[in-house]
Homo-oligomer: A and B are copies of this chain.
């Protein structure tokens, strides 16, 4: 059982790393087994299928992301909460770039075996942003769109940073994203 848990861990880690660059469909079970340092038979001892392996991986990753956002918001309300959430999401993207890449590529796929699971987790993460936005003075029914906008801004800017401009500092990127949320339309 202890042995099974470390094997499971190695398999999940290998699966995430490979899928981040090759995509889930482009990652083969042979490759996962090789990178994890186990035989392919062990993959199927621990997970019933390729789909179930990747569903478990996404559930663990996105679930823990949603948890960390709830924790980061804590008792904060309104704009300070938004600011804390943006920084926390950016930190999590930096700490787990493979998961962030995978989220960007899987979140709008509607043909996956794990569609329901991923939808629920995505909704959990967005709900934290939505709650914070709702605490500012915002017209009714608009917080959902704004939550997606903020999440999208952080996700794309964060990945752009990690993938194409890794020489920048984290604070620089956070400041740029937060500045985007304060772009002011001129008063006419």
A146 interface residue, CB < 8 Å from B?
yes
Contact A156 to B149, CB < 8 A, known contacts A108-B104, A182-B185, A185-B182: yes
User: Could you say how many copies of this chain the assembly holds?
Assistant: 2
Q: Residue-by-residue, is A104-135 near B (CB-CB < 8 Å gives 1, otherwise 0)?
A: 11111111000000010000000000000100
Cβ A154 vs Cβ B152 within 8 A: yes
Q: Interface code A15-38, partner B: CB below 8 Å = 1, 0 otherwise?
A: 000000111011000000000000
A44: Cβ under 8 A from any B Cβ = no
Number of A interface residues at 8 Å Cβ cutoff, please give it: 59
Q: In the complex, what distance in Å separates the CA atom of A110 from the CA atom of B17? A: 13
Which listed residue (B21, B180, B183) contacts A111, Cβ 8 A?
Answer: B21
- Judging by beta carbons under 8 Å apart, are A145 and B163 in contact? no
Closest Cβ of chain B to A4, distance in Å, is: 30
